Structure 1
Amino acid sequence: MQRIFAFVMAALLLVAGCQAATSPSAEAPGRSAVETVDLSEIKRYLQANVQALEEAASALAAASDRYYALASEANFDYAALWQRRSAEAVEALMAARTAWMTASPLYEKVEGIVAGTPALATFDVILDAGASGEEDPENAAPIDLTLPDGRILPRPGNLFGVTESTLWGTDPDYVLADVTADWDGDGALGFGEVAPDANVLKGGADALYQYVVELSQAVEAWEPTTAEAFTALIVMTPTMSEYFASWRDSRFVAGEASTQRDFVAISRLADIQDILGGLEVVYAQVRPLAETANPEQAAQIAAGLSALKSFVADIYAQEQAGRRYTPEEADILGAEAQNRATAITGQISQIAAELGIELVE
């Protein structure tokens, strides 16, 4: 949450600087023009993706329930469970992974709006962005996780991270280290072949579904404003270095040397494309207004967002084709993405200043 508002304050200073240094190319529209711009597509986009996210989160919770039921029937003797009913356990866990892999990209498609809108931003911290209390007490997700067996995990971090690290076994506290869980029966344990703690998985999946439902309700009650649209663009566009750093440190670049517990199932590059896609939806709705202030710059912003997304897509396509980038290459690519994003943000900020739009804190 503090990271988001830090970006907002930096953007406010940038807007002020641009306003002082720039002569508008056209007379700024009246307040009524700013207030009456049609932003309905932003809400429709958000509603559609959050509804699909709710369905995927429900499927994740249901699959986690099936695994929990199997563990309960075995009296939480995981060695016995994997010896006697491993096929059923793997089936439930594979269903949970499939649901997670569906839910995560759906959230990334709306993260640019949710995280960039102060009225909704707390959901981003809880669902996807917040650190654990141990890692970063100041920016920790503000939740404790109560498990079905009564245990409480204080400030465990964001819920996509908790469920991912449980399902793929990247947090040793969330799996049974003394259980041999050979998912494919090949006699060797590969990455992700673990016996998740059913209590942690169910607790995390249930909480994720609960907060997605609450997000859905908040979205239904929310009506976007022009100021919120520009705030989301200015806050979320210049976050490329952060995303590329998490990609650099993930298994997709660092391989077995990675100590990250999350971003192991889906490349961060895919997430970045989804986030930028959501921001393009936002900008498309305010572009007609931006054109009243500076048509040329309005077009440059749209082209810049598209080019940035294509830049990331090309890197991702090469990764999917088998290329393994080095950490040094990831840093270089991240710097290029950040430079592009910073330039785009400066243009958006300048348009906002010419329109007299004050960002939302």
Structure 2
Amino acid sequence: MALTIAGCTAPPVVAPPEPPSAPNTSADLSGIKSYLLEKTGQLKQATRALKETSDRYYALAKEANFDYTALFATQKDEVIGLIQTAREQWMVASPLYEQMEGIVAGTPSLAEFDMIMDAGASKEEDPQDPAPIDVTLPDGRVLERPGNLFGVTESTLWGTFEAFRVPGQFDFNGDGQIAFGESLPDANVLKGGVDALDEQAGELAEAARAWTPTESDAFTALVVMVPTMSEYFDSWKNSRFVSGEASTQRDFVAISRLADIQDILSSLLVVHDNISPMIRGVDTAQDDAIRRGLRDLKAFVAGVHKQESGGKRFKPEEADVLGKEAQDRADAITGQIAQMAARLGVKIEQ
């Protein structure tokens, strides 16, 4: 009996295995802010340079008592040189904004800057919801809700809006014909528009410095901005790049909307890169699919743009087909992102 009892010792107590550690579902979003600060700083430098050129053009016009015919006759080379310089500077500033638009327009606390600077319509185009800014001109006139500032300055520099250009015939190259772009900006409108643009660029830079991105901001930017392809392709279809002389669109004449789309997607890829570790903490395959989808979408647009840059003129019906393809891709990506936000408990602000 003693032997039996001795042999029936209790088994050793084994501690239960520790539960697996929870996945890391927080994200370091400092890269998004760093990217935005870099771009806003570059934009401010670009608009400052544009302002200096605009001021010089205004000073010339003022010295001539705003007699543009006499000014063009006596200082043609200088006038044309200033206009061409201003156009080149505008074409530096505009892409810089597009490279951050995915973040700015997609973040609720920053989105008004997008309406003011790049996306808002004029009160004539959209009486209910125009760009929330008036532009005061040096001569005292006030342009009430004239539209977004990149649009105002572009249509002034390239002469695509009659009210913002000088009446008259100005033959830049002396070939006896007036081609597209051979027009003089109203110096008051140009200076007023550029001054406002430069001021807003500075205010955006200040807002970016004060902003701390949240996980909700990041996911919201992606869910709001990725599925905008049909809107951008429709704008491209109606622009001079597709519709040619038949186009009545006064902006997006200097840079193809296809280039803008790629810049916007670049900023959205930055956003995804910063939340990628958070997504991978719960679903690596889904994160890979989102990254692949965004890159493939950008490559798709780049391929169309390469054809256009090589001389192909797409027809409006072709633009519709391409726009649908881009939108279908974007919708699929957006669904994946929204699904991950739900799984992670991140609120999307609409």
Structure 1 distance, partners of 2:45, 2:177, is 35
Q: Is the 8 A contact 1:180 1:195 kept in 2?
A: no
1:111 aligns with 2:101: yes
1:41 aligns with 2:31: yes
1:61 aligns with 2:90: no
Per-residue Cα deviation, 1:36-76 (whole angstroms, up to 9, x for no partner): 41111111111111111111111111111111011000000
Q: Is the 8 A contact 1:28 1:354 kept in 2?
A: no
Match of residue 360 from structure 1? 349
Match of residue 213 from structure 2? 224
Q: Is the 8 A contact 1:28 1:293 kept in 2?
A: no
Q: Given the superposition, is the C-alpha separation of residues 151 and 29 from structure 1 closer, same or farther in structure 2, using an over 3 Å criterion?
A: farther
Structure 2 distance, partners of 1:54, 1:209, is 7
Gaps of 5+ in 1: 1-26
Structure 1 length normalisation: TM-score?
0.90
How big is the shift at 1:185? 2.4
Q: Given the superposition, is the C-alpha separation of residues 241 and 29 from structure 1 closer, same or farther in structure 2, using an over 3 Å criterion?
A: farther
Q: Secondary structure at the match of 2:293?
A: helix
Match of residue 275 from structure 2? 286
Match of residue 188 from structure 1? 177
**Letter paired with 1:110:** M
Per-residue Cα deviation, 1:115-155 (whole angstroms, up to 9, x for no partner): 00001000000000000001002221011111000011110
**Letter paired with 2:208:** V
Per-residue Cα deviation, 1:56-101 (whole angstroms, up to 9, x for no partner): 1111111111110110000000110111111111111111101100
Aligned match of 1:257 in 246, 256, 259? 246
Match of residue 274 from structure 1? 263
How big is the shift at 1:292? 1.4
Structure 2 distance, partners of 1:237, 1:259, is 27
Q: Is the 8 A contact 1:28 1:355 kept in 2?
A: no
Structure 2 length normalisation: TM-score?
0.93
Q: Is the 8 A contact 1:305 1:344 kept in 2?
A: yes
Per-residue Cα deviation, 1:165-217 (whole angstroms, up to 9, x for no partner): 0000000111112x221222222211000011000000000000000000000
Gaps of 5+ in 2: 1-19
1:170 aligns with 2:152: no
How big is the shift at 1:29? 5.4
Match of residue 339 from structure 2? 350
**Letter paired with 1:123:** F
Per-residue Cα deviation, 1:304-351 (whole angstroms, up to 9, x for no partner): 000000000000000000000000000000000000000000000000
**Letter paired with 1:93:** I
1:156 aligns with 2:146: yes
Q: Which has the larger radius of gyration?
A: 2
Structure 1 distance, partners of 2:330, 2:209, is 30
Aligned match of 1:137 in 127, 140, 143? 127
Structure 2 distance, partners of 1:44, 1:150, is 39
Larger relative contact order (C-alpha < 8 A, sep ≥ 6)?
1
Percent identity between matched residues is 59
Structure 2 distance, partners of 1:38, 1:57, is 31
Q: Secondary structure at the match of 2:348?
A: coil
Structure 2 distance, partners of 1:293, 1:186, is 66
Aligned ranges 1:300-315 → 2 under 5 Å = 300-315=289-304
Structure 2 distance, partners of 1:116, 1:267, is 22
How big is the shift at 1:354? 0.5
Q: Secondary structure at the match of 1:140?
A: coil
Q: Given the superposition, is the C-alpha separation of residues 294 and 150 from structure 1 closer, same or farther in structure 2, using an over 3 Å criterion?
A: same
How big is the shift at 1:28? 11
**Letter paired with 1:311:** F
1:208 aligns with 2:197: yes
